[in-house]
Amino acid sequence: ETGVTQSPTHLIKTRGQQVTLRCSSQSGHNTVSWYQQALGQGPQFIFQYYREEENGRGNFPPRFSGLQFPNYSSELNVNALELDDSALYLCASSLFMTGEGTQYFGPGTRLLVL
């Protein structure tokens, strides 16, 4: 059973650019959630995808968007990058949509916006 993987591991962008982060969920998991973790803070929920549909969104602007593919892998896209977008982006997969199951996290993508 493969775990959650994320790519790339590190990324440096400049203000105004766009970025795409990728996540492969654990085998058999149909739900993927994305979180942003600023330094010294707990992860903040961005959005969740269940069977290719967005299923809930946190307090993030529309320039944060996502996709989930038929194989349940997922992308997080961020447009018009701002300095405050610098953070660790975490992807989590689970079996259940309703929060009843264990969430399994990937190693994260460290994004630095200059």
Partner 1 sequence: KQEVTQIPAALSVPEGENLVLNCSFTDSAIYNLQWFRQDPGKGLTSLLLIQSSQREQTSGRLNASLDKSSGRSTLYIAASQPGDSATYLCAVPGSTGNQFYFGTGTSLTVIP
Sites of contact with partner 1 (CB under 8 A): 4, 6, 33, 35, 40-45, 48, 50, 55-56, 58, 88, 90, 92, 97-108, 110
Q: What is the DSSP string of 85-104?
A: G-EEEEEEEES-TTS-S--E
Q: Which of 101, 20, 93 is nearest to 63 (CA)?
A: 20
Min. distance of Cβ 70 from partner 1 in angstroms?
20
Q: Which is nearer to partner 1, 67 or 88 (CB)?
A: 88
Min. distance of Cβ 16 from partner 1 in angstroms?
26
Burial 36-61 (b: 16+ CB within 10 A, else e): beeeeeebeebbbbbeeeeeeeeebe
Q: Which is nearer to partner 1, 42 or 70 (CB)?
A: 42
Min. distance of Cβ 9 from partner 1 in angstroms?
10
Min. distance of Cβ 40 from partner 1 in angstroms?
7
Q: Which is nearer to partner 1, 15 or 54 (CB)?
A: 54
